[in-house]
Amino acid sequence: MNLIKPPNLNEGDTISIIAPAGCVEYDEIMKAQKYFEDIGFKVKLGRHLFNSYRYMSGTDEERLEDLHNAFLDTEVKAIICARGGYGSIRLIKFIDFEIIRRNPKIFCGFSDITALSLMMVKYSDLITFSGPMAQSDFNGITEFTEKSFFNVMSGDNEEYFSTCTIRSGNAEGIIFGGNLSTIVSLCGIDFIPDSDFIFFTEDLNEPAYKIDKMLNQLVNMKEFRTYCKGILFGEFLDCGDEKWLNEIFAETASLLNVPAYGGFKFTHGDNKQTIPIGAFGILQDGILSYKMI
């Protein structure tokens, strides 16, 4: 895949905060805005950021407008999503991926935002980022999360270290993945890369049997089996019996005949590493490094 690396984020740049998914809290967004401004960035808030429709931050049309406008705005260098929740998958059928391809810039989020990030990699050829969000992280960011985010966004490469070996081995391929339950919601859409990839994943509040089901749903896809060359398991918080999860992870790696490692800081927790989706990854002895394509 010939993917586009967005320009690095530098002090003084403008960051757009938008909410493509769940409703946001005004006070928490104001804290995030102040954080960015205090360290030397300008901030633009999406026009519909504080709207509310059911459990989402506005109608599909409003959230889509903010997404397109953030990419079209020539002053904006990075788009940081406000939060996850639900709503991203509702936008996919309406997104103009050409707008994104012609205006490459940093796009960062996790959880429900995974759906948008993966579709941008697939249809806009844009390297995106799984990382912290305005409401959930930048209103009181930890030193660990902050350091990783700015390392990656400024062009300094991160390394990602496992804490346990599930199935030993090495692998290469583009980095691909994110929140497991969100990824599975894309099944039925053509979203799998057409080249070898290293898959990373995490989740929250999903019982072990559902993790089992979702991983098998991916394994049952021919494209996933063909191109998946390694698996990185992040944190699965409040997901039940750890022994069961480790058994499920090992079974998945065995079914795919790929190396797998666990304990990465891809997580819904406070301390999270930012990782570029679409960068070329090299997995050696449980350590993932990457280079931008």
Q: Where are the beta strands (DSSP E) in the chain?
A: 14-18, 42-45, 76-81, 106-109, 128-130, 160-161, 164-167, 171-179, 197-204, 228-237, 260-262, 275-277, 280-284, 287-291
CA distance 221 to 228: 11
* Given 62, 202, 206, 235, the catalytic residue: 202
| Alpha carbon 54 to chain centroid, angstroms | 24
Cα 95–100–104 angle (5° rounding)?
Answer: 160
202 catalytic? Reply is yes
* Given 16, 117, 235, 268, the catalytic residue: 268
16 catalytic? Reply is no
52 catalytic? Reply is no
CA distance 131 to 275: 7
- Measured over the CA atoms of residue 259, residue 261, residue 265 and residue 269, the dihedral's sign is positive
* Given 111, 148, 162, 181, the catalytic residue: 111
Active site residues: 111, 202, 268
